[in-house]
Amino acid sequence: MQTNVPPTNVNEATALLSDLQLSYIAFIEHLPQIGIGLLLLIIFYFLSGPLSRLIVRPMNYAQTSLLVRVVTRRIVSLLIILLGLYLFLRMAGLSAFAVAILSGTGVVGLIIGFAFKDIAENFMSSLLLSIQKPFRIGEVIEVEGNLGVVKQVTARATTLVDFDGNHIQVPNANVYKNTIRNFTANPQTRGKFLIGIGYDVDPSFAQKLGLEVLAKIEPILNDPEPQILVNDLGSSTLNLMVYYWTDTSKFSLLKVSSLAMKSIVKAFDNAGISMPDDAREVVFPDGVPVIQQQNKDQAEDQTGDNNSTSSASNANKKPTTHRAQTIKIDSTEDLSSDDEDIRKQAAQARDPEQGNNIL
């Protein structure tokens, strides 16, 4: 039994076989070029690292940022590899495909950029931070309400160690876009606190005494000089604001403030300066008169005597004065800065994420 094969199918099969033979012959003819192209691709791949370092080497003198140098070197290395791939495809007879790959690289880059927007934003922020250097490793900064010592800055986030010993990671995009307070750039920091005195006290005397106390506290700087100014009039006190400057790279601002408050309160108390409680204490500068119940006749007899002596007592009455005193400051109190302790804790703690510092 014979099977009749349509002539059309036979012609198609013959044409396909002929195309395969031609492609095979063309492949054999281009095999040396494909081999050379593959060899070039391998050579370009292995030379991309040394060539990129050689090309980027002049940047070492102009740019100190490690991250910028690393990123530039990787970009140059990628361009060298793409050039090797393009040569390989051209020599293999796939010129159109090579052009399509190179033209599609930019489109793929845009797609990846939109897909990984946050990652790209953090990476670009890390580049800008490494170039501008608004802070350095070990400095005390505040970002988004987070205060701490800078432990690490990677391509993704900035790690802070706060004064409770906690690690705080802030994305570099947030660091770059938000306000950065650097407490270490200028070690001289101003402290202030409020203290209230009674209305019976001469404010000029209290200011003078307070300045004498501050002058004897070693961590408080003379330049800029401390100030004690009347801040406001309270319900029962005249409030004084005490301003002073200290070197926070050596001394703790909180500890110095604590010592200054204790010393001023002690000096005011020794000098007889009243510091009444707000709206809950009534001050009688001349004391409270005590009147005892007496017989009516005795009271009438003493009325004349009291009237005769009242004028003499008023004439002899003197204004309230404050006792002179010797100001003593506790020099044994530890006033050292806590920043160094936090830096030691940060150095001993493990890194919260992998990656080298870029600053």
Q: What is the pLDDT of residues 204-259, one digit of tens each?
A: 999 999 999 999 888 899 888 999 999 988 888 899 999 999 988 788 888 899 99
CB 232 within 8 A of CB 317: no
Round to whole Å and give the CA distance between 62 and 322: 67
Above pLDDT 90, what percent of the chain? 12
Examine the pLDDT at 274 and tell me if it is beyond 60: yes
pLDDT top residue among 275 and 155: 275
> What is the residue type of 196?
G
Choose the weakest-confidence range: 92-101, 156-165, 169-178: 92-101
Residues in the chain: 359
Looking at the DSSP bridge assignments, the partners of residue 189 are: 246
Cα 233 → chain centroid: 37
At 223 the pLDDT is: 85
Query: Rounded mean pLDDT of 53-70?
Result: 69
The pLDDT of residue 60 is 67
Banded pLDDT at 110 (limits 50, 70, 90): low
The CA–CA distances, whole Å, from 172 to 33, 73, 143, 242 equal 48, 22, 11, 38
> Distance of CA 357 to CAs 73, 142, 151, Å?
17, 19, 9
CATH topology of domain 134-185+337-359: SH3 type barrels. (2.30.30)
Per-residue pLDDT band at 319 (split at 50, 70, 90):
very low
pLDDT grade for 52, boundaries at 50, 70 and 90: confident
Range among 12-21, 46-55, 243-252, 306-315 with highest mean pLDDT value: 243-252
Q: What is the pLDDT, as a whole number, of residue 316?
A: 44
Query: Please, what's the b/e burial string for 232-253 (b: 16 or more CB within 10 A of its CB; e: otherwise)?
Result: eeeebbbebebebbbebeebbb
Output 305 or 119, whichever has higher pLDDT. 119
The counts of H helices and E strands in the chain are: 10, 8
Distance, first Cα to last Cα, the chain:
86
Are 167 and 151 in contact, with CB atoms under 8 Å apart? yes
List pLDDT tens digits, range 170-215.
998 889 888 888 888 888 888 999 999 999 889 999 999 999 999 9
In the predicted structure, residue 81 carries a pLDDT above the cut 90: no
Question: By three-state DSSP, how is residue 133 classified?
Answer: coil
Q: Is 254 exposed, middle or buried (0-12, 13-18, 19+ CB in 10 A)?
A: middle
Decide whether 134-185+337-359 matches 188-284 in CATH topology.
no
Distance CA 85, CA 80 (A): 9
Q: Are 17 and 9 in contact (CB under 8 A)?
A: no
Q: What one-character DSSP code corresponds to residue 226?
A: P
Q: What's the mean pLDDT in 274-298?
A: 65
pLDDT, average across residues 144-157: 85
Q: Select the more confidently predicted residue: 194 or 98.
A: 194
Q: How confident is the model at residue 350 (pLDDT cuts 50, 70, 90)?
A: low
Tokens of 27: 């492949």
Partners of residue 196 on adjacent β-strands: 239
CA distance 332 to 313: 48
Residue 168 CA to its chain's centroid (Å): 11
Distance between CA atoms of 344 and 359, rounded to whole angstroms?
19
- Is-above-0.85 flag for pTM? no
Lowest pLDDT segment from 119-128, 135-144, 212-221, 311-320: 311-320
3-state secondary structure of 31: helix
pLDDT at 263: 92
Given 3.40.50.720, 3.30.70.100, 3.40.50.1370, 3.90.850.10, which CATH number is that of 188-284? Answer: 3.30.70.100
Average pLDDT over residues 136-157: 86
- pLDDT band at residue 348, thresholds of 50, 70 and 90? low
Say if CB 60 and CB 69 are below 8 A apart: yes
Q: Are 195 and 261 in contact (CB under 8 A)?
A: yes
Angle at 94 between CA 92 and CA 98, to 5 degrees: 115
Residue with tokens 């170039």: 131
Domain residue limits, the chain: 24-115, 134-185+337-359, 188-284
Q: Where are the alpha helices (DSSP H) in 92-157?
A: 95-115, 117-132
Burial class (CB in 10 A: 0-12, 13-18, 19+), 303: exposed
CB atoms within 10 A of CB 210: 23
